[in-house]
Structure 1
Amino acid sequence: MANESTTTCIDILVAILLPPLGVFLKYGCKAEFWICLVLTLFGYLPGIIYAVYAITKN
């Protein structure tokens, strides 16, 4: 079984490659996902920054 820090690390790696997917894996189809999707459409870097923030904020 993977512990929480391993899961967070994998989520961050996925968020760097495809930001909305990383947020979706953590939160599902909630507001965080939609914000990340819009930011990624405006620019890849803002999407990555928000995704890493959203995954690590708790």
Structure 2
Amino acid sequence: MPFTASDLIKIVLAIVLPPLGVFLERGCNADFLINILLTVLGYIPGIIHAIYIIFKF
């Protein structure tokens, strides 16, 4: 799957506000709730999870 401009925007948003990047990629589901929890517990784990979700095929 090619890397698109929307993926770049999602990555930037995932760095600034990780749950927003996950929401744009997957919508409001378990991944979104997990990312909110990870972001509350620690900002870096939230970013890592968001980047993982965006790059996961």
Tell me the percent identity: 53
Deviations 1:9-38 (A, max 9, x none): 110000000000110011110111011000
TM-score, normalised by the number of residues in structure 2: 0.91
Identify unmatched segments of 5+ residues in structure 1: none
Identify unmatched segments of 5+ residues in structure 2: none
Q: Count residues in correspondence.
A: 56
After superposition, residues 32-51 of structure 1 pair within 5 angstroms as 32-51=31-50
- Root-mean-square deviation (CA), in Å? 1.4
TM-score, normalised by the number of residues in structure 1: 0.90
Poorly superposed stretches of 4+, deviation over 4 Å: none
Name the residue aligned to 2:9: 10
